[in-house]
Amino acid sequence: MTLRKAALAATILSLPLAAQAQPVTGLYVGAGVGANFRLDADGDYSRSLVATPGRVTNTATGRAQVSTDPNIMGLFSLGWGFGNGLRAEIEGNYRTNQVDSATIPGRPRSSSSPWLNTYGAMVNVLYDFRMGWPVVPYIGAGVGYGWNEIEKGASFGFPSTQTKGEFAYQGILGVAYELGSMVPGLALTLEGRYYATLDPSFKDASRVSPTVSQQSYWKPKNENVSALIGLRYALYTPAPPPAPVVAPVAAPALARTYLVFFDWDKYNLTERARQIIGEAAGASRKVQTTRIEVAGHADRSGTPAYNQRLSQRRADAVAAELVRQGIARNEIAVSAFGETRPLVPTADGVREPQNRRVEIVLK
């Protein structure tokens, strides 16, 4: 795989992750529905019958034991994302559960099944954990005010609907799967919630006959566990950062200087030397070249006069090979420097392989 193809592949593979990495920024709305499981609504209970003019004729006190069936819940939220994973929102919610069984002090079992409803408003703070996964986990907590309601509660001594408001609090654990490829800013959410209020105190006084009134009191627990599915839509979703521009990979620049080395006291060309001369000849056709300089050199193992002649023979051998490979002789300038321009400085008489060379320079 070429460098360019590898860069393009890395860019393409990074695009989905770049889209997922966009945090919620600005205004968003959300909604969810699901199942609500109200934990046992046990609580202190009392009932008194009072005869006119205020004489108590019958009293029953104790602890009511009440369980409910699972039922539905729903919520709507309006929030703001700060672009760093942190979100704040206001929420309206509703939960309802029907009593499944109840043991009430001083009252016979009844086929009547009251409804226990809760609705309220919350302020929540949440945090999204963006870890490059297909889903985004988040946690949250909220406080607010919830209204507890008992409906159709005659069997509990509450013939009319009773409503009592209390402080409410909740914890939130969820994951969001972003659907930005379908609708920018849209996400599917799955949540588990724990919601509770302080125990409400229901009180009622009603006449059961012209001369007898009934006074009822019940303080049940209100704790709920909910599982819900929902949608969240960010009204402003910033465009993902543009994909990095992959610069075209430049072709390696052709060399303009080539070195041909020789064995000691030799000027004949080896196979490797012919290959280097061929590369120089090929490059001269691809770059702007007006002249090819061929300069011969020798080491200091002989006399200066001998080394001058040897460097000339080496330069002539290289020039002849260039001509054989298609370069016109009049384009080649040949010179010889003997031992006067060593590549590696040495003492006199030293055999240095790198000084036994011909330099080909494309001008």
Residue type, 223: E
Question: What's the topology of domain 3-234?
Answer: Porin (2.40.160)
Which is it for the CA torsion 105, 109, 110, 114, positive or negative?
A: positive
* pTM of the predicted protein model: 0.61
In terms of Cα–Cα distance, which of 127, 96, 135, 129 is closest to 114? Answer: 96
Helix, coil or strand: residue 222: coil
pLDDT digits 0-9 by tens, 71-121: 999 999 999 999 999 999 999 999 999 999 888 887 766 556 899 999 999
pLDDT digits 0-9 by tens, 279-294: 888 888 887 777 889 9
What is the per-residue pLDDT for 12? Answer: 40
What is the per-residue pLDDT for 152? Answer: 86
What is the per-residue pLDDT for 6? Answer: 44
What is the per-residue pLDDT for 160? Answer: 80
What is the per-residue pLDDT for 105? Answer: 83
Q: Which residues of the chain have pLDDT under 70?
A: 1-21, 52-58, 108-112, 208, 238-241, 250-255
Choosing among 3.30.1280.10, 3.10.20.30, 3.30.1330.60, 3.40.50.720, the CATH entry for 257-362 is 3.30.1330.60
Q: Is 73 exposed, middle or buried (0-12, 13-18, 19+ CB in 10 A)?
A: buried
- Domain spans in the chain, listed from the N-terminal domain onward: 3-234, 257-362
